[in-house]
Amino acid sequence: MKNPFLKLTTVGLASLFFASCETNLTPDQQEIKPKPNSERAAAVAVNGVMMQGFYWDVPKTTPSGTWWQNLSAKATELQTAGITAVWIPPAYKGGSVDDVGYGVYDRYDLGEFNQKGTVATRYGTIGQLQSAITALHNKNIQVYEDMVMNHLTWADYTENRNNENIYTGFSYTGRNNTYSAYKWNATLFSGYQRGNGTWNQWQPWDFTSYNNGDGYDNLLGCEIKYNNGVGNNSAGTETINWGNWITTKLGLDGYRLDATKHIYTPYVNQWLDAVKLNGRFAVGEAWFNNIQWLQDYAAATGGRMSLFDVPLHYKFVDMSNGNGAWDMRGLAFAGFTEVNGPLSVSFVDNHDTDAPSGGLRSPVVNLKMLAYAYILTRDKGYPCVFYRDYYEYGLGTQIKKLIEIRKANGYGSGFEYTSVNDADVYVYSRAGDATHKGMLVMLNDGGAASTKGVTTPFKSKTLTDKTGNRTGTVTTNASGFGNFPVNSRSYSVWVPN
């Protein structure tokens, strides 16, 4: 999430109020409680494909009911499509029923208590949420929750900081201490963002100023301070306890951590060590459009979580903006996915890049299926499909076919054809293994069809374009060489018969 004040227009920025903490912890909240080893494990599936199961302004009502009911109704078709995990939106109470979840008010209210004028969240009630997760689990689809740990908003009462009365106190009277008696107040925050975007800051920021201040570009509400250690009554202990609580409550298989570069990095590591147990997956949103910066952050977090491949997204944006004029040779060895595949989550678009406004708005509009063909056939990275692309932008049938090809043929080492590529056509292959045949991928952003002579790993084989974009076959010689066509502004995945 970035520049949320530009996006939270549906909830009324003029009334954004923010929060903090009292110090009356109950004894069972005064220490971190790891999850027992008997809980559901969630190792990423082989050739797995994640779906971001929402977008910025999803409707509160769908033909199936609430958004949770919509996801529940789609569980079977998601399984059939080859989706192995779904990333769901922040499930906890924001400032109103319109809040998309990033304006967090009460992290223990999953649509259960009458607070901020509503019982349900934008996405539905706790019962509907649990039913949706059960439906997905019944189809062997993992569930990753969006964990917003950077800030709280919409506080209940004011406190005085720097001679200004600001909203930094949370009482949660509607929940009445159910699940947790912990309260937040100004002592647990570093600063408060006013509705006009300016800050009242009374403690130093505790996060690292990455890359010449890049860490300061996205703050919201009451910025939680995590560098005071883990112990009784600390924000760190409380957030770990909450992480373990919501994991158990919802049976989570993993997490997407929001705005991680704005959280004290040693605490991010501590939280992951205490909560991400039993093989659970985690991916962090560290929005760096620079491969080395992502590498540096991966090192700082000790490889504890994956990271979204932001630089690769912007490669696709350049391809889209070029709309046929961009040099496709730029896709060779591209992105964080290439240099750190085991920790990379590749994506084409997400809720921020597709949002109606905001600092991260950067949609891939043109040639989007070429981008999907790239991430879904790669030998590296964990690809994430965007719900809106699949269901609302008309790409579902093509994405489903690519996932099918990935599951059947996405094996073996990858090979770049830098001597074959040109400004219009990019070529890549997977060698296959003892039981899978591999594939040859061709992406063409040009205005004319093209044929490329390629020496493939497939010797004396007849190949078919499994996407159906090209008819006919290509037969290779004893060296694996063949002439492979690809349509204009299209893609092909040639597979040995």
What is the rounded CA–CA span in Å between residue 187 and residue 185?
A: 6
Backbone φ, ψ for residue 82 (5° rounding) = 95, 10
Which one of 258, 338, 349, 465 is the catalytic residue? 258
Contact 123, 89 (CB under 8 A): yes
> Is 258 known to be catalytic?
yes
Inter-CA distances, 107 with 67, 117, 136, 217, 471, Å: 19, 16, 23, 24, 53
Torsion angle of alpha carbons 309, 312, 314, 317, nearest 10°?
A: -130
- Helices (H), strands (E): how many in the chain? 12, 22
Torsion angle of alpha carbons 107, 109, 110, 112, nearest 10°?
A: 180
Backbone φ, ψ for residue 281 (5° rounding) = -95, 150
> Is 273 known to be catalytic?
no
What is the rounded CA–CA span in Å between residue 44 and residue 70?
A: 24
Determine which helix (DSSP H) or strand (DSSP E) holds 164, and give its type and residue range.
strand 164-169
Here the tokens at position 134 are 């059960």
Closest CA to 318 of 335, 295, 302: 335
Which one of 146, 206, 285, 309 is the catalytic residue? 285
Helices (H), 161-251: 210-213, 235-250
By annotation, the residues acting in catalysis are: 258, 285
